[in-house]
Structure 1
Amino acid sequence: MTGPRQGDNSVKNSDDAPTPRLRRALGPGALLLFGLTYLAPVTVFTTYGIVTASTDNHLPAAYIVALVAMLFTAVSYGFMSRAFPSAGSAYTYTQRSFGRHVGFLTGWTLMLDYLFLPMINFLLIGIYLNTQFPAIPGWVFALAALLLVLLFNVLGIALVAKLNVAIVALSVLLVVVFVALGIKELLSNPSAETPGLLAPLLPGSGGLGVIFSGAAVLALSFLGFDAVSTLSEEAKNPRRDIPRAIVLTTLIGGALFIVVSWIGALVAPDYQAFVDLDSAGVDLMAKVGGTLLTSFFVAVYVVGAFGSGLTTQVSVSRIIYSMARDGVFPRFFARLHKRFRTPLGAAIAVSTVSLLALFITLDVAASMISFGALVAFSMVNLSVIRHHLFPKGGRAEAATARDWVVYGIVPLVGFGLTVWLWTSLTQTTFIVGLSWMAVGIVYLAVLTRGFRRQPPALSFTDVVDDRATADPR
């Protein structure tokens, strides 16, 4: 979001040349709507089955833990967006606070998220279409979606982006209908198996350990609340409205996830009855609304997943192309299609990684995305402490007691909670995630000739700005 748009304001620089500026037209309501759109209401159904099973039907409790952790991190994002109102990413904040080397590694870890986001959408398309067409293996649908997205990426077509508003509206309608029918089901067909109203909201026999393990995976559901910070240059009052919108987006989105998962836990307490944990949303819809609601749910979910897969792959391809053009990656990734002038090499690379959707499981894919997100969230919390209490060059004046509480204790709690969630992920997730980070360290050493030079400054703004607003994670 650095280029001019129609209706943008412009100012003159020292050479009297016009410098484009984005128009400051977004108020607090528009910013909040943008953030809630990014969170996507149907995200709750993506990991519903696997986290419900891992927490023994205490998914709402896991969402409460995740929400608390994310609120502290959201506050830290607010602090950093106020300090850097024209910036907006974990990489940027880390780079400004700790320098380019640490910033590069944070950005490298975020790349794991960006590479896995298209893949998880193809995986979800295969899972949910297979529930409606069981004779066709899920990998067939996933591969077909992957090839179609690659084709659209090469052609430079972003048709699904125009459907984002409609998809989000249908998603909200779907969630509202589910909650209403779920309440009706509980009132009209009470069951002896239905747990107490508060039981799903509290830790069960497994204790807090399984709740935190579930909450670690649920970090995936909160991806996008930080995207509000990318609109700093278009907000009317960014220093006030951006932090508020980030926190409110997290709070309202988290509350929505808790309500939906709570109704689901009461309606279908026996998660072992789910045909497939990966597609538990289908069983929930069938429980409260029958075949019609199930078909509507699958249609909305699949269309949203395809749109998200398309736009996330376009975004990641663009970033990889830019990095290759600047010499960070091999020149092959900077190859353009001769006719359509689209990043062919980068698109092929992302599609190759996305082929993992044919073999990987949903819980592993979700955990890998959460791995990268939690690392980034941890670094943002630390960035608040470094920037406000221990800035480069030292503070002009001594920190007050309030500063130590606001910029010290609050982000430190957020850091502790995100690290706790991070360490609650599976062993496989750690092996893959830490291996990726190790490759990044080695690559950084090569780029900087043994850390003797400054690494290139990466930019992930395009990824955030172009990611599908209908992301059904």
Structure 2
Amino acid sequence: MEQREQLEKCLKPQWVWAIAFGSAIGWGSFVLPADWIAMAGPVGAILGLCIGAVLMIIIGVSYGFLIKIFPVTGGGFSYSYLGFGRHHAFFCGWFLTLGYMSIVALNASALALLAKFIIPDVANFWRMYSVAGWDVYFGEVAIASLALILFAWINTRGGSLSGKSQYYFCLLLIAGALFVVVGMLLSPETSFANMKPMFQPEISAWSAVFAIVAIAPWAYVGFDSVPQAAEEFDFSPAKAFMLIVMALAMAALHYSLLIMATAIAMPWTELVAQGPVWGTGEVVQGTLGTLGLAALALSLLMGIATGLNGFYIATSRLMFAQGRAKFLPSVFGQLHSTYRTPTAGIVFTCAVCLLAPWFGREVLLWIVDMAATGVAIAYFYCCAAAYKCFKWSKSGKGKDYEGGVSPFKKTLSLLGALSSLSFLGLLLIPGSPGALSMPSWIALLVWGALGGILYVKRREHIQGVSKEHLDRMILASEA
């Protein structure tokens, strides 16, 4: 019988919470408040993100249940196999891989963007060319590349190092953000009157709110790093749901406070009309001076670090699960002989992401815009699989797993699946508030075509291996 490679159980609860929280907020909470305010107004942006968090928590119910019963790596890939079989698992895993990998690349480019604001002479060294209107400098490419290599090295050195690092990154992030928010609230130069009008006046209030809700799968992606790390828990998997809820609640609070801190500095309509490179950075510097900007920059740096580290963990574990089942080449299913980390997935993620800075940030944003599609697909499969596992009653349909008779949880799983479909609709239906742009559609179709080619090449194994073998490799089931 083929040996099943097993990840080391080394992650503590606080580290797993940090992986979920740090990945969910990343750099976006510091860089994008002005953009979100421009889309929906301050209250519209906060309301949209809070509604998104509630929907994510509903989806998190299904994740928490499935982690408890199947504490294996793979997340949406494993759960789509559980609920719908091997072909659906390949489809879900392929698009989820893109979603995770593109966020690794985007976090690296966000570091280069921070450098443009803090150390412009370094970041803007040697303009090489322009892509889609974005000037590409050797300095920013070098900064992004060094960050990608550093975090790849951290992740190859063991789950304990990456988990512990994530926890301390989060503590520094929270400390810096609290300093900024409290400082902005107490400053005599700020006023809540600057938050008026509360919604974007050019569109209806609900259209503004749902434009923000549409990005929730992207804004909160990262909480689903928890099932990717489930195989490495050194604690009961039953705690996973509470860790997910805590991470999402804190992420929503964090987003809301940073939006508020940005909006109270000056009339927000004037701020967005100026089109600042970094709206939050400029108003904090103008209100709190160099010390405030330094605290914000530290928090942003830690947000980028948590995003890079968290999504390296998620991407490499997802690819490991696919490689262990041989949906990807078997090298991805092997672990480092000393550190017991999925090195092939880490190195491959690093290599692909090292290409991204050379194409410019605008092209990368096209890819990331459609990456939310892959994440929403995974959410749907997870909730639909959980729905199939729960029973309405003892005589009802459903798989008889532990706690299988639960009408309430079955209803929440159904709501989670419907929410996921709603997210997909907001992204894919032309004319919807969060509809993908044409370049993002092209990137989505290209990635789908590449997946089709890989499927054809791996079809013999995917179709030919026995269900019992895949159950053991994907779900650790010996039945």
- Interval containing the TM-score (normalised by the shorter chain): 0.7 to 0.9
Displacement of 1:326 in angstroms is 8.3
Displacement of 1:323 in angstroms is 6.6
1:195 is aligned to 2:196: yes
Displacement of 1:143 in angstroms is 0.7
Does the 8 A contact of 1:381 with 1:414 survive in 2?
yes
Contiguous gaps of at least 5 residues in structure 1: 6-21, 335-340, 462-473
For residues 370 and 329 of structure 1, the distance between their equivalents in structure 2, rounded to whole angstroms, comes to 22
For residues 443 and 388 of structure 2, the distance between their equivalents in structure 1, rounded to whole angstroms, comes to 29
Seen in structure 2, the aligned counterparts of structure 1 residues 449 and 423 have a Cα distance that, compared at 3 Å, is: same
Matched residue, 2:290 = 291
Matched residue, 1:118 = 104
Matched residue, 1:338 = none
For residues 150 and 358 of structure 2, the distance between their equivalents in structure 1, rounded to whole angstroms, comes to 20
Displacement of 1:349 in angstroms is 4.1
Matched residue, 2:24 = 39
Matched residue, 1:97 = 83
Seen in structure 2, the aligned counterparts of structure 1 residues 251 and 87 have a Cα distance that, compared at 3 Å, is: same
Does the 8 A contact of 1:73 with 1:411 survive in 2?
yes
Matched residue, 1:439 = 450
Matched residue, 2:208 = 210
SS in structure 2 opposite 1:223?
Answer: coil
1:410 is aligned to 2:412: yes
The AA in structure 2 aligned to 1:181 is G
| Bigger Cα displacement from structure 2, 252-261 vs 306-315 | 306-315
SS in structure 2 opposite 1:171?
Answer: helix
Matched residue, 2:36 = 51
Does the 8 A contact of 1:316 with 1:350 survive in 2?
no
Alignment of 1:367-382 (within 5 A): 367-382=369-384
Seen in structure 2, the aligned counterparts of structure 1 residues 59 and 317 have a Cα distance that, compared at 3 Å, is: same
Does the 8 A contact of 1:372 with 1:433 survive in 2?
no
For residues 301 and 64 of structure 2, the distance between their equivalents in structure 1, rounded to whole angstroms, comes to 33
Displacement of 1:4 in angstroms is 7.1
Displacement of 1:96 in angstroms is 1.0
Displacement of 1:451 in angstroms is 7.6
**Cα deviations by residue, 1:414-455 (Å, 9 ceiling, x for unpaired):** 222232223323233344224423432443244215985459
Matched residue, 1:17 = none
The AA in structure 2 aligned to 1:427 is S
Matched residue, 2:217 = 219
For residues 362 and 52 of structure 1, the distance between their equivalents in structure 2, rounded to whole angstroms, comes to 22
Number of residue equivalences: 431
Seen in structure 2, the aligned counterparts of structure 1 residues 191 and 94 have a Cα distance that, compared at 3 Å, is: closer
For residues 203 and 92 of structure 1, the distance between their equivalents in structure 2, rounded to whole angstroms, comes to 44
Matched residue, 1:257 = 255
The AA in structure 2 aligned to 1:217 is I
The AA in structure 2 aligned to 1:184 is L
Does the 8 A contact of 2:325 with 2:474 survive in 1?
no
Does the 8 A contact of 1:232 with 1:238 survive in 2?
no
For residues 201 and 470 of structure 2, the distance between their equivalents in structure 1, rounded to whole angstroms, comes to 44
Seen in structure 2, the aligned counterparts of structure 1 residues 227 and 322 have a Cα distance that, compared at 3 Å, is: closer
Seen in structure 2, the aligned counterparts of structure 1 residues 168 and 140 have a Cα distance that, compared at 3 Å, is: farther
Residue among 437, 443, 448 paired with 1:427: 437
| Bigger Cα displacement from structure 2, 282-291 vs 349-358 | 349-358
Seen in structure 2, the aligned counterparts of structure 1 residues 203 and 245 have a Cα distance that, compared at 3 Å, is: farther
Seen in structure 2, the aligned counterparts of structure 1 residues 39 and 460 have a Cα distance that, compared at 3 Å, is: farther
Matched residue, 1:467 = none
Displacement of 1:104 in angstroms is 1.1
For residues 266 and 170 of structure 1, the distance between their equivalents in structure 2, rounded to whole angstroms, comes to 24
Matched residue, 1:337 = none
Alignment of 1:293-332 (within 5 A): 293-302=292-301, 305=304, 308-309=307-308, 312=311, 316=315
Does the 8 A contact of 1:88 with 1:232 survive in 2?
no
Matched residue, 1:143 = 141
1:70 is aligned to 2:56: yes
SS in structure 2 opposite 1:225?
Answer: coil
For residues 315 and 404 of structure 2, the distance between their equivalents in structure 1, rounded to whole angstroms, comes to 43
For residues 211 and 439 of structure 1, the distance between their equivalents in structure 2, rounded to whole angstroms, comes to 35
**Superposition RMSD in Å:** 4.6
For residues 17 and 68 of structure 2, the distance between their equivalents in structure 1, rounded to whole angstroms, comes to 16
Matched residue, 1:80 = 66
Displacement of 1:242 in angstroms is 1.9
**Cα deviations by residue, 1:4-44 (Å, 9 ceiling, x for unpaired):** 75xxxxxxxxxxxxxxxx47x956x7764564344357641
| Bigger Cα displacement from structure 2, 121-130 vs 362-371 | 362-371
For residues 443 and 401 of structure 1, the distance between their equivalents in structure 2, rounded to whole angstroms, comes to 36
For residues 84 and 431 of structure 1, the distance between their equivalents in structure 2, rounded to whole angstroms, comes to 36
For residues 185 and 304 of structure 2, the distance between their equivalents in structure 1, rounded to whole angstroms, comes to 28
Does the 8 A contact of 1:333 with 1:349 survive in 2?
no
Alignment of 1:453-468 (within 5 A): 453=464
Identity of aligned residues (%): 16
Displacement of 1:171 in angstroms is 0.8
Matched residue, 1:355 = 357
The AA in structure 1 aligned to 2:77 is Y
